[in-house]
Amino acid sequence: MTSPLLHAPLGFGLGLRPPHYAAILDEQSPLGAEIDWFEIISENYMIPGGRPLYFLDRIRERWPVVMHGVSLSIGSTDPLDLNYLRDLKALAHRAKPAWISDHLCWTGAHGAQVHDLLPLPFTEEAVRHVVSRVRQVQDVLGQRILLENVSSYLQFEEDEMREWEFISAIAEAADCLLLLDVNNVYVSSVNHGFDPEAYLAGLPARRVQQFHVAGHETSPDLLIDTHDHAVPDPVWQLYRSAVRRFGPVSTLLERDDDLPDLDILVQELQLARDHQASSLKVAA
């Protein structure tokens, strides 16, 4: 079993999506009681007002919330966007999240955003570059952030280490935490032919603060991280391994497209509970 987490586990959560606002807050429905916490996409709530903030305020009164961003671009060569960080900090002041996360990637360069999560070369130079920027972000926000591993579909000739070694080096040097996306590990392991169990074994256990589980799309040549399918069996199997290694880490079921009704997601969330409980018994 791992060392204690820096934050107490929140249990099992869902991504907060507008089509589910009403069902979540319906006091006549039992569904809300089956969800322990919610993860918001930070950028969707970095606005001056309106419906999203109205519902966020109501939901955070009853459930813990964490913030998950897609635009930090921590690996870019562009300067950090201080206006973005200011707005992110303001949202954190309002939402009072348990923690703030984003992706270990870059999303643009030379002032242009590509609206995608692009992989980094696994080099010592990239480690130093990202570490410096993570430290800046954490200084501005006044707290550690979580970085999430992204799925990838290519590798760089310049790579000097494996992905898990790259992530570990950044987390230790920057003193940040990790959001382990189990689906992304599985997708990348199939696409690049590495052992996903070796990936888990290579991460610093005390840094892993949150899990993501999700579905993906299978094409003839590769797997694509789409978040529009139920979690498949191979990802659940890898999730069980992650629980055995890292313990009862806060687990988030991700679904972004082809959204089913809330009750379907709650049923799938129960699968995560069942997998974690049985895996912890094996690890005991």
Tell me the mean pLDDT in the region 111-129. Answer: 91
Residue 4: its pLDDT value, please? 45
| Cα–Cα distances in angstroms (integers) from residue 21 to residues 26, 69, 107, 163, 164, in the given order | 9, 20, 29, 37, 36
The proportion of the chain whose per-residue pLDDT surpasses 70, expressed as a percent, equals 98
Instruction: Give the span between the Cα atoms of 258 and 238, in whole angstroms.
Output: 24
**Residue 3: band (very low, low, confident or very high) from pLDDT cuts 50, 70, 90:** very low
Residue 142 has pLDDT above 90, yes or no: yes
Tell me the mean pLDDT in the region 146-164. Answer: 96
Look at residue 50 and give its three-state secondary structure.
Answer: coil
Tell me the mean pLDDT in the region 130-145. Answer: 98
Between 65 and 7, whose confidence is greater?
Answer: 65
Q: How many CB atoms lie within 10 A of CB 24?
A: 20
The proportion of the chain whose per-residue pLDDT surpasses 90, expressed as a percent, equals 89
Instruction: Say if residues 219 and 153 touch (Cβ distance below 8 Å).
Output: no
Residue 110: its pLDDT value, please? 77
Tell me the mean pLDDT in the region 50-65. Answer: 96
Residue 5: its pLDDT value, please? 53
pLDDT tens digits for range 258-274: 999 999 999 999 999 99
pTM: 0.95
**Residue 116: band (very low, low, confident or very high) from pLDDT cuts 50, 70, 90:** confident
Tell me the mean pLDDT in the region 192-204. Answer: 98
Instruction: Give the span between the Cα atoms of 223 and 152, in whole angstroms.
Output: 9
Tell me the mean pLDDT in the region 47-64. Answer: 96
Least reliable range by pLDDT among 6-10, 140-144, 179-183, 192-196: 6-10
Residue 112: its pLDDT value, please? 74
Helix (H) or strand (E) holding 13, with range, is strand 12-15
